[in-house]
Structure 1
Amino acid sequence: MRRSTATRLLTLVLALGATALAHAQDYPSKVITMVVPFAAGGPTDTVARLLAQAMSGALKQQIIVENVGGAGGTLGAGRVARAAPDGYTILLHHIGQSTAPALYRKLPYDPLKDYEYIGLVTEVPMTLVARKDFPPKDFKELIAYVKANKDKVTYANAGLGSASHLCGTLFMSAIGTPLTTVPYKGTGPAMNDLLGGQVDFMCDQTTNTTSQIRAGKIKVYGVTTKTRVPALPDVPTLHEAGLPNFEVTVWHGLYAPKGTPKPVVDKLSAALKVALQDATVKQRFADLGTEPVALDRATPEALREHLKREIDKWGPILKQAGVYAD
């Protein structure tokens, strides 16, 4: 009886393995959906659309981008965590994947347990920008102005847990001044209101601000990296401008639901590497103030390790700041 049961189990395992292998060999045989957990028009959406087009060519199958915004990116991330593990629903998320565990007491998924990792994509600098007619002329004046008008100044962000929220939290902590925050469902809508003068300033990725800065449509006070950004050579770092050691970069990673077959993940990771070497992607990233990660970081192992380090880094910072959602 025991031998018969063991034989049946072995047969079942082998059958499942053969089915998974056949699936992987045929993959992809239909359109793939890349979920972006933020509104259309934002910086992560921009990265996703460039990546999806290049990966579509590498996989010889269309990848469409679907925006599932809300709750600081957790709605879209949760949707992918619950999706069928077949490689046809994948997630492009940013640093918010590492801050969510500290921000949400009842997070409906575990970033470290509910995904297969495909690879890192890019690390994007951020910029501190304001509406075109905001009174302060430079960073020094900005600090003095917001401290003197802290009850009137409005800071826009893309919602709890977003990169703009994190950057704003660190900025307010660094200058010791809490400000009125205006949350949006993405930095795309927030940027629209900044351009329209409905909010005063925000911290946003260069992928969303570089063209607006160059066109003179918004005012910029600094970048959040240790060194200046080649796409914006005249813009000082916030460290240079007077905020010592202030640094925030926004990394993006690509994920699949837990249980996605390894051969499928490997195909997606290989396509990611091809996309990151695409001349158009490199040029568009450069125009937006960023660049692809090195190919040895566009791997499942590198993303897994990076995510773990980032969770360990930001968890204590957010806990100390007392920022969380129910």
Structure 2
Amino acid sequence: MKFAPPLLAGTALLFTASLALAQGDAYPSKPITLVIPFSAGGPTDVVARSLGVALTKTIGKPVVVENKTGAGGTLAAGYVAKAAPDGYTLLLHHNGMATAPALYRKLPFSPLNDFEPISQVIDVPMTLVGRKDLPAKSLKELLPYLKANAEKVNVAHAGLGAVSQLCSLLFRQAIGQNFQTVPYQGTAPAMNALLGSQVDLLCDQTTSTTTFIKADKVNLYGVTTTQRIPAMPDVPTLAEQGLKGFNMVVWHGLYAPKGTPQVVVQKINTAFRAALKEPAFQQQMKELGAQIVPEDKQTPEGLRSWLKAETDRWGPLIKAAGVYAD
């Protein structure tokens, strides 16, 4: 086995370090692409576009949102995992990063190993809503209704791996009751089916449901967080109505490809944390019922540990439900 002479090895390390510093000094020198795994107009897209505007201001270059849909979000994640590790292609993804290993038998990337975590972004509470003409108008009325009509009740979700599907799995586990689930190709079609009384229930993000709740076009049964949310202070949680321990929040994280220089990662993180403080962004998130995460989660380490914890949490539940894709 041949070894590089100490002088040459030291020179190579110095060159690598100098190159990384040079990249950091020059970054960013061109527009940044923020890839999201879901369609335009969906809840993650709404967050991404608001964030893109704020980040453009704080990082000093245009941030362009690119929708790369398909395969339950794995297409976009796989694309970013293989992108040049230079900080110009970033991924904004939600809980799907933690559930993909359990959902997909042939996942072409590792969420834990093929990305550089940058920061968590926001937490979005979810709401359990029903078609307006459903006889049950409260959770107290809904639970016996589900039991009596188990074979007829159906619950919409936005497709394999969507947070609405995860919420329906968690709800089914919490009440110990099976019901039919109906997949749609996105949140908008699922909501349209609910508004048209083609399905009975939907559990989805406040960014998708708030408008219809305020317009009184759906029945609202509760929010999915452990505490009531500021945007709906009078709406009880599912947990306080008897579903002890029920907790479902849609969290979002920002990632770069593995191998992106740490000096670039830190530069993105600094600009990103400043973007989260932009008044316009904060106001938009408040109106949508979304909550900006605490500062201890706005770090690469915070996102990395959270992703690991969520992967461990959802894996057993998904496997027990027998939900997977080839």
Q: TM-score, normalised by structure 2?
A: 0.92
Instruction: Please identify, of 308-317 and 269-278, the stretch whose mean Cα deviation from structure 2 is larger.
Output: 308-317
CA 237–102 in structure 1, closer or farther in 2 if over 3 Å, else same: same
Structure 1 residue aligned with 2:149: 149
CA 14–152 in structure 1, closer or farther in 2 if over 3 Å, else same: same
Shift of 1:305: 1.0
Helix, strand or coil: the match of 1:135?
Answer: coil
Structure 2 residue aligned with 1:206: 206
Determine if the alignment matches structure 1 residue 219 to structure 2 residue 211: no
Structure 2 residue aligned with 1:123: 123
Helix, strand or coil: the match of 1:97?
Answer: helix
Structure 2 residue aligned with 1:88: 88
Q: Deviations over 1:8-59 (max 9, x none)?
A: 5555554444333322222112221111112222222222111111111001
Identity %: 57
Whether contact under 8 Å (1:42, 1:188) holds in the other structure is yes
Instruction: Please identify, of 32-41 and 20-29, the stretch whose mean Cα deviation from structure 2 is larger.
Output: 20-29
Instruction: Please identify, of 192-201 and 122-131, the stretch whose mean Cα deviation from structure 2 is larger.
Output: 192-201
Q: Deviations over 1:231-281 (max 9, x none)?
A: 112221112333222111121110011011111111111111101111112
CA 140–38 in structure 1, closer or farther in 2 if over 3 Å, else same: same
Which structure 2 residues correspond to residues 89-238 of structure 1 after superposition, within 5 A?
89-238=89-238
Supply the AA of the counterpart residue of 1:77: A
Supply the AA of the counterpart residue of 1:186: G
Structure 2 residue aligned with 1:48: 48
Structure 2 residue aligned with 1:303: 303
Structure 2 residue aligned with 1:75: 75
Q: Deviations over 1:34-92 (max 9, x none)?
A: 11112222222222111111111001111111222222221111111111111111111
Supply the AA of the counterpart residue of 1:320: A
Q: Deviations over 1:197-233 (max 9, x none)?
A: 3332211111221222112222211101122112112
Helix, strand or coil: the match of 2:181?
Answer: strand
Helix, strand or coil: the match of 2:185?
Answer: coil
CA 196–66 in structure 1, closer or farther in 2 if over 3 Å, else same: farther
Q: Structure 1 regions of 5+ residues with no counterpart?
A: none
Structure 2 residue aligned with 1:245: 245
Counterparts of 2:83 and 2:184 in 1: how far apart (Å)? Answer: 26
Helix, strand or coil: the match of 2:291?
Answer: coil
Q: Deviations over 1:263-306 (max 9, x none)?
A: 11111111111011111122221111122112221010111111
Shift of 1:156: 1.3
CA RMSD of aligned residues (A): 2.0
Helix, strand or coil: the match of 1:323?
Answer: coil
Determine if the alignment matches structure 1 residue 261 to structure 2 residue 261: yes
Counterparts of 2:107 and 2:271 in 1: how far apart (Å)? Answer: 30
Helix, strand or coil: the match of 1:107?
Answer: coil
Q: Structure 2 regions of 5+ residues with no counterpart?
A: none
Structure 1 residue aligned with 2:316: 316
Supply the AA of the counterpart residue of 2:53: Q
Instruction: Please identify, of 43-52 and 301-310, the stretch whose mean Cα deviation from structure 2 is larger.
Output: 43-52
Counterparts of 1:129 and 1:55 in 2: how far apart (Å)? Answer: 33
Counterparts of 1:245 and 1:16 in 2: how far apart (Å)? Answer: 49
CA 3–90 in structure 1, closer or farther in 2 if over 3 Å, else same: closer
Helix, strand or coil: the match of 1:92?
Answer: strand
Supply the AA of the counterpart residue of 2:206: T
Counterparts of 2:3 and 2:35 in 1: how far apart (Å)? Answer: 46
Helix, strand or coil: the match of 2:50?
Answer: helix
Aligned residues: 325
Counterparts of 1:121 and 1:287 in 2: how far apart (Å)? Answer: 16
Supply the AA of the counterpart residue of 1:200: D
